[in-house]
């Protein structure tokens, strides 16, 4: 039972982070493609901006890993 709850918690930590990242990247990505169409020199900066929200899911992953390693035994 307890292990199941830990697993659900870990899944939520990664999943919710991934959803948030997806929302942010969708908006940044569409605006970024528009910017690249106007000025292809912005490609590098757009990649950077699109990649920034990924920190959310990585932090979710860190939380999930801590839950599993520290509580899951």
- Region near another protein per CB under 8 A, out of 5-13, 26-34, 48-56: 48-56
Distances (CA, A) of 3 to 7, 23, 30, 34: 6, 30, 40, 46
Helix (H, G, I), strand (E, B) or coil at 72: coil
Residue given tokens 């801590």 in the structure block: 66
Task: Give the total of residues touching another protein (CB under 8 A).
Answer: 16
Residue 20 vs 68, nearer CB to another protein? 68
In order of 1, 23, 36, 68, the CA distances from 51 in angstroms are 37, 13, 16, 26
For another protein, the closer CB: 3 or 51: 51
Select 31 or 48, whichever has its Cβ closest to another protein: 48
- Catalog residues that contact another protein under the rule CB under 8 A: 43-45, 47-48, 51-52, 54-55, 58-59, 61-62, 65, 68-69
């Amino acid at each position: 039972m307890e292990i199941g709850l830990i697993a659900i918690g870990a899944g939520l930590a990664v999943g919710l982070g991934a959803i948030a990242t997806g929302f942010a990247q969708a908006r940044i990505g569409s605006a970024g493609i528009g910017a690249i169409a106007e000025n292809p020199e912005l490609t590098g900066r757009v990649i950077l901006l699109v990649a920034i929200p990924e920190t959310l899911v990585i932090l979710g992953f860190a939380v999930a890993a801590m839950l599993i390693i520290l509580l899951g035994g």
